[in-house]
Amino acid sequence: MIHHSDAGSQYTSFTLAEHLERAGIAASIGSVGDAYHNALMESTIDLFKTELIKPRRPWKALSEVEPATAEWTDWYCHRDRLHGEIGNIPAVEYETTTTSKPRNPRSQSQSSAASGNVGSVQ
């Protein structure tokens, strides 16, 4: 697992680095001053706060937040959320229906057939 963040002081602290190391999580810090570098993460965190954290507060304990976060992340990344870039279907459905298909539109027999002519290109 990788914890990627910007170069904010809360993410560059020794305390966080030690916590990540104990948990076996690699730390990754983006480039300083690059607003576009973290745009996707910022957007995702904003959705997370808007859809899960703010509507259900006040949270009483971390033990409430952790399972709710795991469930939201599973929904957001895999199970039910429709992804416009893949035909408005959940990612898990897309992966199930496309992983058995070859990536190259040419058939295996076409791509592996040799012409018999040394140095020729098919």
| Residue 71 counted as domain residue | yes
pTM for the predicted model, two decimal places: 0.50
Per-residue pLDDT tens over the stretch 39-89? 777 888 899 999 999 999 999 999 999 999 999 988 887 777 787 888 888
* 43 & 78 share domain: yes
Same domain, 55 and 92: yes
Range of the domain at 30: 1-35
Tens digit of each residue's pLDDT (9 = 90 or more) over 10-44: 778 889 899 999 999 998 887 777 767 677 778 88
CA 11 to chain CA centroid, nearest Å: 19
- Chain segment 96-117, per-residue pLDDT in tens: 888 765 555 554 444 444 444 4
Does residue 107 lie within any of the structural domains?
no
